[in-house]
Amino acid sequence: MSCLHDVQIKKIGEGTMNTGDTAFILVSAALVMLMTPGLALFYAGMVRSKNVLGTIMQSFILIGFISLEWILWGYSMAFGPDKLGMIGGLEWFGLNGVGLEPHTVYATTIPHQLFMIYQCMFAVITPALITGAFAERMRFGPFLVFSLLWATFVYNPLAHWIWGGGWLSSLGALDFAGGVAVHLSSGVAALACALILGKRRGYQTEELKPHNLPMTLLGAGILWFGWFGFNAGSALAAGSLAGSAFVATHMAGTTGALAWIAIEWRMSGKATTLGAASGAIAGLATVTPAAGFVGPISASIIGLIAGCACYLGIMAKNKFRYDDSLDVVGIHGVGGVVGLLAVGVLASKAINSNGANGLFFGNPGQLGIQCIAIAATIVYTFVITFVLLKIVNKLLGLRVPEHEEISGLDLSQHDETAYTS
């Protein structure tokens, strides 16, 4: 999805379908869809058993909820006709005019609707990522309202800025598959959520431990698998750029996991399996904006840095004592920043001629542009998220009452029990 304006110049008017590209994006869309159930498991394994269904549900239902929002107004706001670089118009409301012919700018060799649904999966998983911040304590109804508002007023504009022909892309900011709109935005939103919702009962006094780590590891495996659709698929064609992004993605996941357990081993004497999973996700998240602009060695370095930086990000939480329950800030927020910076440093036109060179390849300006993208994303996301949360809290109340927190989300929000015999 990178550099649509360069692409624009070259490809306008082409628009011939390619079966290989179409096959690849069909499958990639399915892969990215699967990431949300994967994330549900990744998160659900880390909560206590009384909250497992509530946690799964917060991801699962967004597949439905945000997809509907997306075909109604989301896609139009993000990718529809640009208005002043800030937002897409509502001309494409209800997919009006979004047909089966390739679009002339976005993904010119696959059906336009396929590009739309592929993007839909990104819109779905982003608010799902945030749910890790308020795990185990948010009311279900208000959660839905907040997610809808957030998707509309945070995700859609950010996606437009960077991928829909908005001002960040005009500026030349590079984000291959979701540093701005997906990872950094969800990480920053997570911080706002953690601050406004407050700590879980028992935070730092009781043992709030994962109830089922194999479930988390399964989720991590599914996420890794789906990430190939996320990053390689963002090449939007089955060619060498996809291959390159695939390799970069895999290597960063790899070195992220290794870096994380290496630090752990030094710090506490043991490597944990949750550390390996967390490091892999950190590497994968961090390389996301860079995947199509860097080679395998650069990607490996990005993963290494990601593993270290996100580990420190998580330690920060223990220090500042906000309860970002499942570490969205530490992983996606820190990862988003590091990844967007890494593009500014390590991007190379030798890998992607539609991209740009970074600092190490003689173009320090790119790093400046990336910093602007980071700053804009942080400020915009934090402010809007904060306001939305305050409003929803005022009107509906975000947090479950204490006795419901004690009995758990599964019973209190859904009248269900996860495990019986």
Binding site for another protein (CB under 8 A): 202, 206-207, 209-210, 264, 267-268, 270, 272, 274-275, 278, 311, 314-315, 318, 327, 406-407, 411, 415-417, 421
Exposure letters 117-155 (e unless 16+ CB within 10 A, then b): bbbbbbbbbbbbbbbbbbbbbbbeebbbbbbbbbbbbbb
Nearer to another protein, 246 or 311 (CB): 311
Select from 57, 66, 24 the least CA-distant residue to 39. Answer: 57
Contacts 24+ apart (CB under 8 A), 80-87: 80/164, 82/160, 82/164, 82/165, 82/166, 85/161, 85/165, 85/166, 85/167, 85/170, 86/157, 86/160, 86/161, 86/166, 86/167, 87/156, 87/157, 87/160, 87/166
Give which of another protein, its own copies, none residue 176 binds (C-beta under 5 to 8 Å, depending on kind): none
Q: Considering CB distances under 5 to 8 angstroms, the limit depending on partner class, which of its own copies, another protein, none binds residue 232?
A: its own copies
Residue 211's binding partner, choosing from another protein, its own copies, none, with beta-carbon cut-off 5 to 8 A by kind?
A: its own copies
Q: What are phi and psi of 175, to 5 degrees?
A: -150, 105
Choose from another protein, its own copies, none: what does 184 bind? Cβ within 5-8 Å by kind. Answer: none
Q: Cα dihedral angle (358, 364, 370, 371), rounded to 10 degrees?
A: 150
CB of 187 to another protein, least distance (A): 16
Task: Report the residue number, 166 or 275, with the smaller CB distance to another protein.
Answer: 275
Question: Between 158 and 220, whose beta carbon lies closer to its own copies?
Answer: 220
CB closer to another protein, 56 vs 71: 56
Q: Which one of its own copies, another protein, none is in contact with 206 (Cβ closer than 5 to 8 A by kind)?
A: another protein
Which amino acid does the sequence have at 159?
A
Q: Which CB sits closer to another protein, 267 or 387?
A: 267
> Which H or E element spans position 88?
strand 87-88
Residue 118 CB, shortest distance to its own copies, in Å, is 9
Least Cβ distance, residue 398 to another protein (angstroms):
23
How far apart are CB 172 and its own copies at their closest, in Å?
23
Q: Which does 327 bind (CB under 5 to 8 A by kind): another protein, its own copies, none?
A: another protein
